Structure 1
């Protein structure tokens, strides 16, 4: 946490300079890896259907999951039959793991990771989870041959997977931090990588404009245990957040004029246990994000609530995306016609 705070300070913290050798090693290895795919030393898997990658060039929360949700909803409305692949960070497996309507009820967010589980619940499309994206895609198409487009949740730096469109998400409030690569700064890739993607979208407003802006709109409060929408009880409250940028959730509560007695930030993808809440007052209502709730349902009492959010884009963004997808849709029609004609 202290390291991440240092990344986003206006000036470079002196002790980060001690990490310069590690940053140089990270840059060297990441460049060698990318060029090995670019010049053909390593093979990138090309899926038989179009692939859209939604990712970022920095670590930490940028709003990528709500963007993926909004993208899937729009694709379904346009007549596509999409599915999602995800790394499943923090999940216990076994991988590759398929989340769909036939999933064993015993499988939960601890097996798949919090983000894939949330996407499967919210998007109502098949989700395949695992570090090997090729295996995940083949599993999806084997079990659901009607799928005609894959959205990769994260994976902008996973060059083993060929992609047709790239969408990079930026947190406009924090930007790219101090601009240095890991571990001196938050960047996985240099800033000029943004010029190579098809679309850049920014979460909220900041000192500069990175691309298409979207806002996160809060939904209705839901009870964690039942997952049903319910009115929020009166205070007192405590708030927890185990996401990439916990302060964003706490700021949202403030915008909603909710003042928790205490706020507890946890690490991104934190694997909650009931004991993590033992020191919190039992008579205080616990407020959390939807991603947190996915890992707390098995032991949540009735006074725990989560707040769903949705990414909202202006119509011009969707028109731009439609133009980018038009050639892919045409290719799909040609492939279908060719297959039908033998």
Structure 2
């Protein structure tokens, strides 16, 4: 793979340059009102990133939803990447009931719907149209735009940018040569920048990253956060198990997420010993035979919450003994440095 990348890197570099030119031209069109930015009569907060792969957006959306719903009526708008349904929009949850299955909604929207009460979740590539549905059906005043940093079609009141300390900007190049969706200059649009997985790197790495960010955006609130393990859940019966349970034990990991190393490093921080890795492409839809084969040859298999919601359908008719080998790691985000500044900035925007 590295040899192929070396051989094709000149071509990828040219394609990256073309990509950036097209991206800059598109942003120019929006900035000069040649392309229309739609507005909605609501406060809109956007959570996103400038790299492909996972930075912890879903965990932050969960955190913000739980905090904000204490004072505000909110709805989550998300794309529903790799969902099976082809509807223009789909109401995954009305805040009280889940109205679709995981394949139609996509794994992340379904997880949000499953873990949140009184917060509707709507999927749709056109976030403006989905937002109008939210306002008409649920009479909310705040829309939380999940993975929308590049969605310039919809105006927002605040951009919250997530940057993963484990791999902040890849090799520094834009797609397809690198991981960047946009050049680093795009960080200037953010009002809040949150560094994720700070506990999995040295403090010097975090400090260096903060200094680099400030060269592009010196006005944003910069916060740090960790993804804190809460407990394990035995998949077969839902029993909660302490995070210390796998300390010193050999385990296998099963995931189809954008950033498998962060998940694995979290397990290692709990002193688990990883002996097998089953890493599928992001948002992979598992087949029953895949899961059966993996569980039948491993005593302990640990997966993510995002993967777990896609495995629920396999419970019916499955061998309970085999299912007892599967565990889900529950994780919550915890903002460490500048938490109050972040929440104060958000609250000030929502109350004006």
Same fold, TM exceeding 0.5?
Answer: yes
RMSD, aligned CA: 2.3
* TM-score, scaled relative to structure 2: 0.84
- Corresponding residue to 1:247 among 219, 244, 261: 261
Aligned counterpart, 2:83: 91
Q: Deviations over 1:126-170 (max 9, x none)?
A: 00001011121111122211x111111101001001010001100
Shift of 1:184: 0.9
Taking the aligned partners of 2:18 and 2:345, their CA distance within structure 1 comes to 40
Aligned counterpart, 1:122: 115
Aligned counterpart, 1:142: 136
- Corresponding residue to 1:310 among 317, 332, 337: 332
Distance 1:214 1:236, change over 3 A: closer
Q: Deviations over 1:64-102 (max 9, x none)?
A: 11111111112123x111110000001112341112224
Aligned counterpart, 2:227: 216
Aligned counterpart, 2:23: 30
Shift of 1:16: 2.4
Shift of 1:265: 1.1
Aligned counterpart, 1:132: 126
Shift of 1:228: 4.8
- The question of whether the paired residues in 2 share the 8 Å contact of 1:224 and 1:304 is answered with yes
Give the alignment of 1:187-202 within 5 angstroms.
Answer: 187-202=180-195
Taking the aligned partners of 2:348 and 2:301, their CA distance within structure 1 comes to 46
Count of paired positions: 318
Taking the aligned partners of 2:40 and 2:126, their CA distance within structure 1 comes to 13
- Corresponding residue to 2:45 among 47, 52, 64: 52
Shift of 1:281: 4.9
Aligned counterpart, 1:340: none
**Structure 1 counterpart SS, 2:310:** coil
Taking the aligned partners of 1:243 and 1:216, their CA distance within structure 2 comes to 15
Q: Which range moved further: 212-221 or 227-236?
A: 227-236
Distance 1:220 1:91, change over 3 A: same
Taking the aligned partners of 1:103 and 1:71, their CA distance within structure 2 comes to 20
Shift of 1:318: 3.0
Distance 1:245 1:103, change over 3 A: closer
Unaligned runs of 5+ residues in structure 1 are: 7-12, 331-342
- The question of whether the paired residues in 1 share the 8 Å contact of 2:295 and 2:325 is answered with no
Q: Deviations over 1:5-56 (max 9, x none)?
A: x7xxxxxx56423312211221122122222211111211111111011000
* TM-score, scaled relative to structure 1: 0.86
Distance 1:262 1:327, change over 3 A: closer
Aligned counterpart, 1:262: 276
Aligned counterpart, 1:333: none
Taking the aligned partners of 2:7 and 2:313, their CA distance within structure 1 comes to 44
Give the alignment of 1:145-294 within 5 angstroms.
Answer: 145=139, 147-205=140-198, 206=201, 207=205, 208-210=208-210, 211-230=222-241, 237-282=251-296, 284-294=299-309
Unaligned runs of 5+ residues in structure 2 are: 211-221, 316-322
- The question of whether the paired residues in 2 share the 8 Å contact of 1:82 and 1:150 is answered with yes
